[in-house]
Chains A and B, each alone.
Chain A
Amino acid sequence: MKYSWYRLDNSAIMYQMVLTPRAQSLFRMGVKLKSPVVPSALKCAVDKAFLRHPFFKSELKRGFFRPYLDENKLPFIIEEDDGVLLKLLDFSSNNRYLLRVSYFGNRFFIDYFHGLCDGTGALEFLKTVAFYYFDALGIPFPDKNILTLSSSPSEEETEDAFTKYYRKPELGKGINSMAGGQAFHVRGKNFSSTGYGLIQANVSTSALLDAAHRLNCSVTVFLTALILASVAEAHVKGVPKHNLTAFVPINLRKRFPSKTLGNFTVFAKIIIPKDCPLDFESLVPVVKKLLEEQLGEREVILKLGFTSLMSKMPLFKFMPLFIKGFISRIGRTLSTPKQTFILSNMGKIDIGENEVIDEFLFNLNCNKKTPDNVGVLSYGDKTLISFTRKIVSTEIERIFCKKLASLCGEVKVISNFREECNAL
C-alpha cells in the first residue's frame, strides 16, 4: 500500500499547535552498542527503517482545520552528536524531518518530535533501525519483536487510536478530573544555553524488582514515590504551598488493542495530598492507591475522551487551525504546568538475547516550570533511570541515587556534565 500523507492523531495536534522554533516537545531514545557506531551502516539502517515505517519519513504541514503529515521526499541526514542534549530540530537544515539521528562513540540516538509518535512508536522505529544496522554490518541479530521488511506496513500502524476508541466523556465531572490544581514546582538556577543536564542511574532490574516487591508495589510506584520523596527532601520546607504532583504516562495500547505507532498515551496524575508525610515509606502506599485510581476504567475512558474532544466537538473540529493555534498558545502562556515532574516508564524491552547491544537509552524533555523529568526503561538486567534537568542543581538526583543504592544495592551513575560545558 502506498502512503503519501497521514492524519495526525488528536494528541499530536496539541503538540503541533504549540510548536515554535524555540519550543518543541522532543524526547530521545538511543542504543549503546558494545562497539563504536559505523556512520555509513547507520545511514543505511535508517533508510531501510524508513521503508518499513514510511510514517516516520514525513514532514509536518498545516492544513486548514488540522495539521497533517506529508511524505518527505528529501534525503535524510544523520549527524555526529554535538553534546547538546535534545537540541531543537532545525527544520531548515534537516530537510524538515521530525526526528534526528545522531551518534557518538558507542551510542546512537534518535530524537523524536512528540507530535510524530509516543515512546512505544519511537521504540519500534529504534528497534528496526538497530536491526538493519547490524544487518548492514553483516552481524547476525534476532528479529524477535522487531518490525522488519518481512512484514509490510499496515494502516493500523498509522491509525488515530484516540478517535477509534472515543467515548463521549461526562463534561462536568470530567473537567474537574482533567484540569487538576496548581502543582508544586521545583525551582533553581537554570542553564543559560540550550541543552539539558543528564544524570543516568543504572541499577540491576532484579534488585529493583525485589525492592519493589518487598514494599508490595510495582517498579513505577516505587520510583515515583522515591522521586517524590527526593523532591520533598531537596526542595520542600515544611508543608508545601501546592500539591506535589507526578504525571505518569499510561500506554493505552495495553487497554485498547491498537498497533498504532502514533501517540496513544494519557497521563495518570498522582497528586499527593498536602497533609501526607513526604518520606519514601509513607509515600509508597499513597502513590500506589492514587495510581490504581487513575488506572481505573472510568478514569482512563474519561482521559481518552477528553483528548479526542477537539476532533469530535463541531466547534473545535471546524475551527481554522490558526485560530486553534492562537487559542492554544494563549492558554499555554497563561496556564502553568500541573505537574512537579513527569516519570515515563517504558518497561522492559524484550528483543531476545544478543551480544551486540549493551543498553537502551531514554531521555525526556523538560522546561523551566518542570525542570526535572525522568525516563525509565529496562533491558536485560539493567534498568536505566535518566533524569533530564533544566536546572543546575543535582540535589534531587543525589538524594534519589543515595536512597536507591541503600534499597537496591549498587547504582552506577553517569552524567553529561552540562554544568561544566559553558552552560551556566
Chain B
Amino acid sequence: MRCKNCNVEIACKSSVCPLCHKPLVSDGEVPFPTPATKKILMGKFSLAYLVIAVIANIVCITLNFVLTPKILWCVPVLVSFIYVYYFVSVTVLAKRGFHKRILGQALILTAIFAAIKLAIGGNHWIFISWLPAVYLVSDLLMLIFIFKKKNEASKYIATLLLLCIFGAIPCISAYVFDLSVKLPSIIATSVSAAIFIICLIVCRKTIIHELKKVFNL
C-alpha cells in the first residue's frame, strides 16, 4: 500500500502510515510481534508477608512497652521476621549460587545474634554455642559443596576466603565478651581456616588458572 503523503510504499500490515500516521489500507505481512503488556506486581509472598509482619510487630512493640518495658524482647521478634523473609526470598527462592547462600546465611545469623545480644544483653549462650555452630555448619556445607564441584572449585575460593575471614568472628567475640567457655569458638575459627587451607592445597592448579584470568596474566 502506498502513502500518498510520504510518497513511500508501506510494506507491512498497517492501517496507518508509520511515518505520518495518516490512514491507509494494507494487506502486507506482520514483520514484528506486538509486545505483551507486563504489569510488575509485588510477589504474593512478599505482599502477604509484609502485611503480617507489620501487624505482628506493631502488636509486639505495643505489648513490650506496656507490659515489660525493661526487656526489649520485641527486637528478637522483629529480627526473626526479617530473617524468615531473607531465608525464603533470598536463600530458598533466589537464583544465586549455593556458596553465596551459605555465606549469606552465616552473615545474617551473625547479625541477628548481635542484635539479640544488644537488645536483651547478658545471654552469652548465643556466642558460646550458637555462633560457633553456625560457622561450623557453614564450613562443612561449603566443604561438601566444593568437593562435589572439585573441577570448578576455584570459582568458590573467594567465598571460602570470606567465610574463613568471618569465621574469626566467634573467636573474636569470645575474647571481646570474655566468655567463660571459649573452646567452641576456637574450634569453629580453626575449622574455617583449615578448610580454606585444605581447599587451597587440593585445588591449587585450578586456583592458579583462575588467578591468571583474574589478573589478566
- For residues 92 through 149 of chain B, which have their beta carbon under 8 Å from a beta carbon of chain A? 95
CB of B35 within 8 A of CB of A92, answer: no
A237 CA to B211 CA, complexed, in Å: 58
User: Smallest distance from the beta carbon of A280 to chain B beta carbons, Å?
Assistant: 16
Closest to B211 in A: A64
CB of B19 within 8 A of CB of A398, answer: yes
- What 1/0 flags go to B25-39 for Cβ under 8 Å of A? 000111111111100
Given A415-B14, A416-B32, CB of A92 within 8 Å of CB of B8: no
User: Smallest distance from the beta carbon of A42 to chain B beta carbons, Å?
Assistant: 16
CB of B34 within 8 A of CB of A394, answer: no
B19 contacts which of A66, A84, A92, A199 (Cβ < 8 Å)?
A199
- For residues 1 through 25 of chain B, which have their beta carbon under 8 Å from a beta carbon of chain A? 3, 6-12, 14, 17-21
CB of A83 within 8 A of CB of B7, answer: no
- For residues 405 through 424 of chain A, which have their beta carbon under 8 Å from a beta carbon of chain B? 405-406, 410-417, 421-423
A417 CA to B214 CA, complexed, in Å: 45
A7 interface hit (Cβ, 8 Å):
yes
B180 interface hit (Cβ, 8 Å):
no
B213 interface hit (Cβ, 8 Å):
yes
CB of A68 within 8 A of CB of B216, answer: yes
CB of A61 within 8 A of CB of B213, answer: yes
Inter-chain contacts of B12 with A (CB < 8 A): 413-415
CB of B95 within 8 A of CB of A92, answer: yes
CB of A413 within 8 A of CB of B35, answer: no
Inter-chain contacts of A423 with B (CB < 8 A): 35
Inter-chain contacts of B9 with A (CB < 8 A): 410-413
Closest to B33 in A: A83
Inter-chain contacts of B6 with A (CB < 8 A): 398, 401-402, 405, 413
A195 CA to B34 CA, complexed, in Å: 11
Closest to B29 in A: A105
A118 CA to B12 CA, complexed, in Å: 29
Inter-chain contacts of A5 with B (CB < 8 A): 213
CB of A402 within 8 A of CB of B33, answer: no
CB of A401 within 8 A of CB of B216, answer: no
Given A107-B31, A412-B11, CB of A82 within 8 Å of CB of B213: no
CB of B11 within 8 A of CB of A414, answer: yes
Closest to A87 in B: B35
Closest to B30 in A: A105
B215 contacts which of A63, A106, A422 (Cβ < 8 Å)?
A63
Inter-chain contacts of B21 with A (CB < 8 A): 394
User: Smallest distance from the beta carbon of A205 to chain B beta carbons, Å?
Assistant: 16
CB of B19 within 8 A of CB of A65, answer: no
Inter-chain contacts of B18 with A (CB < 8 A): 199, 394, 397, 413-415, 417
A104 interface hit (Cβ, 8 Å):
yes
User: Smallest distance from the beta carbon of A310 to chain B beta carbons, Å?
Assistant: 13
Q: How many residues of chain A are within 8 Å of chain B by beta carbon?
A: 44
Given A65-B216, A201-B8, A412-B8, CB of A82 within 8 Å of CB of B36: yes
A63 CA to B21 CA, complexed, in Å: 50
Inter-chain contacts of A80 with B (CB < 8 A): 33
Inter-chain contacts of A47 with B (CB < 8 A): none
User: Smallest distance from the beta carbon of B18 to chain A beta carbons, Å?
Assistant: 3
User: Smallest distance from the beta carbon of A183 to chain B beta carbons, Å?
Assistant: 25
A202 interface hit (Cβ, 8 Å):
yes
- What 1/0 flags go to A48-72 for Cβ under 8 Å of B? 0000000000000101111010100
Inter-chain contacts of A198 with B (CB < 8 A): 32
CB of B19 within 8 A of CB of A413, answer: yes
A201 CA to B30 CA, complexed, in Å: 16
A299 interface hit (Cβ, 8 Å):
no
- For residues 170 through 211 of chain A, which have their beta carbon under 8 Å from a beta carbon of chain B? 195, 198-199, 201-202
A81 CA to B214 CA, complexed, in Å: 35
Closest to B215 in A: A64
Closest to A423 in B: B35
CB of A66 within 8 A of CB of B216, answer: yes
Closest to A410 in B: B9
A406 CA to B9 CA, complexed, in Å: 13
A421 CA to B33 CA, complexed, in Å: 10
Given A414-B18, A416-B31, CB of A63 within 8 Å of CB of B11: no
Given A398-B6, A413-B10, CB of A105 within 8 Å of CB of B19: no
CB of A81 within 8 A of CB of B32, answer: yes
Find the residue from A81, A410, A412 having the highest chain B CB count within 10 A: A412
CB of A68 within 8 A of CB of B33, answer: no
- For residues 25 through 62 of chain B, which have their beta carbon under 8 Å from a beta carbon of chain A? 28-37
- What 1/0 flags go to A75-100 for Cβ under 8 Å of B? 00000111111000000100000000
A82 CA to B35 CA, complexed, in Å: 5
**Known contacts A65-B216, A202-B11, A394-B21; can you find 4 more A-B pairs with CB under 8 A?**
A70-B213, A81-B33, A83-B35, A398-B6
Closest 3 CB pairs of A and B: A415-B18, A83-B33, A83-B35
